[in-house]
Structure 1
Amino acid sequence: MSDSRASRHDNRTEAIMRAALDLALELGYAKLSIEAVATRAGVGKHTVYRRWSSRGLLFLDAVLSLNTEGLSHPNTGDVVADLRETMTRAVKLLARPPWGPLYQALIGEAQHDPEVAAALNRRFIEPQTADTLARLKAAKEQGELAPDFDLDLAFDVLSGPLYYRLLITQQPITHDYIDRVLQAVFAGMSPRPKTSY
């Protein structure tokens, strides 16, 4: 593919994804269609189908094309502060358009489309999980966490309340709430004092 053809291909791909995001925000994901996206992007629907086999996979690529930088964990030596910082950044990202409503719609689509669910897990959930687990593992190795603590369970307990509020109750996720989650989790994760008999 020549440079000009590759550039045209990239420009069309970007225009299609931007059109999908704009329409999803305007109409809601339920009303999003390949035909409407093609019309908004100024391309034929076959151009869209050559790149994506379904509207769900198009939407996944479009949402994941948005900037999610800043969600990796720092390692300052204070695991609670590091997790609080990353959780706060994630909550800010999800609390406002375009990310929040689009991500909620993407999670909803993943419940009905196994291909979208698998791609979302592989491309977004698993890398985020791996980053959090790496930070928890480092904290464990540095003695901040009990040596026998289950890191996978810790991740589930840390992320579960956030997803519950985001997707189920739609209650706000405040700084105070994040602090309460961290306090509840880390009370059980801290090294226990040795007892002498």
Structure 2
Amino acid sequence: MKQENTKQPGNTRGRKRDSSRTDAIVKVALSLLLEVGFDRFRIQDVATKAGCGTGAIYRRWPTKESLIIEAIKSMPAQEAPVTDEPTTDLKTVIEKQCSQASEKPDLVPGLVAAMRSDKEIEAVVKAGFSLEHYRKTIARTIGEDHEHLDLLAEITPAVTLFRSVFTPESLNSDDMVEEILSVITSFKPKT
């Protein structure tokens, strides 16, 4: 007589996965990704910081790239400050972008390289990437219906990416913030 397979679909060997552990690993992975970038991201470092073994990670994500994809998906949307001073809010957003690019000049170029080599990483980055916080902040200064609003929203990330590759020392400059702010506000309608 043939024995029937009593294993239930979806059962896996080993202990049941703890969802809080999964969330903690993703949080550590995102933190580490933002700290060291794609090129220096290691599963062993995630395991050490999360207080688990590499096996616990590989049972959930079979590759480094799959964990990175999960970490990128968990990134919160960027929020722009909203006060009674739209130009000050815009300056704050520009300062934040310049500061992040200055502190981690290799972060974005490394991610771009990862996007070129892994279509799933490219898809998740593109799906999660938004300039809406720049757009909204700039719109409060120059108007929602300005013909160059979308292009102006790209200026700060574009300039900081360019400079992080070619002149990272220029990112840590108040002059750069003022230059970008000046370019964007020069499109402000005259009243």
Secondary structure of residue in 1 paired with 2:97: helix
Q: Unaligned regions of 5+ residues in structure 1, if any?
A: none
Q: Please state if 1:89 is matched with 2:92.
A: no
Q: More relative contact order in 1 or in 2 (CA 8 Å, sep 6+)?
A: 2
Aligned length: 173
AA at the equivalent of 2:177: I
- The 8 Å contact of residues 60 and 116 in structure 1, kept in 2 or not, is answered as yes
2:133 is aligned with 1:134: no
Gap runs ≥5 in structure 2: 1-15
- Partner of 2:170, secondary structure, is coil
Match of residue 116 from structure 2 = 111
Does 2:125 match 1:120?
yes
Cα shift at 1:86: 1.4
Superposed displacement of residue 92, structure 1:
2.8
1:179 aligned to 2:190?
no
SS in structure 1 at match of 2:117 = coil
SS at match of 1:191: coil
Q: Which position in structure 1 is the counterpart of 2:19?
A: 9
Q: Is the 8 A contact 2:94 2:156 kept in 1?
A: no
SS across alignment from 1:171 = helix
Instruction: Report if aligned partners of 1:16, 1:37 keep a CA contact under 8 Å in 2.
Output: no
Shift in CA distance, 56/172, structure 1 to aligned 2, threshold 3 Å = farther
Query: C-alpha displacement at 1:114, in angstroms?
Result: 2.1
- By how many angstroms is 1:183 displaced? 0.9
- Preserved CA contact (<8 Å) 2:108 2:161: no
Q: CA deviation at 1:120?
A: 1.5
Structure 2 CA distance for aligned equivalents of residues 180 and 109 of structure 1: 31
What's the TM-score once normalised by structure 1's chain length? 0.64
- 2:109–2:165 contact (8 Å) kept in structure 1: yes
Q: Which amino acid aligns with 2:65?
A: G
Task: Answer with 1 or 2: which has the greater Rg.
Answer: 2
TM-score by length of 2: 0.65
Specify the code of the residue in structure 1 equivalent to 2:81. Answer: P
- What is the DSSP-based 3-state SS (H/G/I as helix, E as strand, rest coil) of the residue aligned with 2:113? helix
Q: Which residue of 1 aligns with 2:3?
A: none
Q: Which has the higher helix share?
A: 1
Change in Cα spacing, 1:82 to 1:20, as seen in structure 2 (3 Å) is closer
Question: Percent sequence identity over matched residues?
Answer: 17
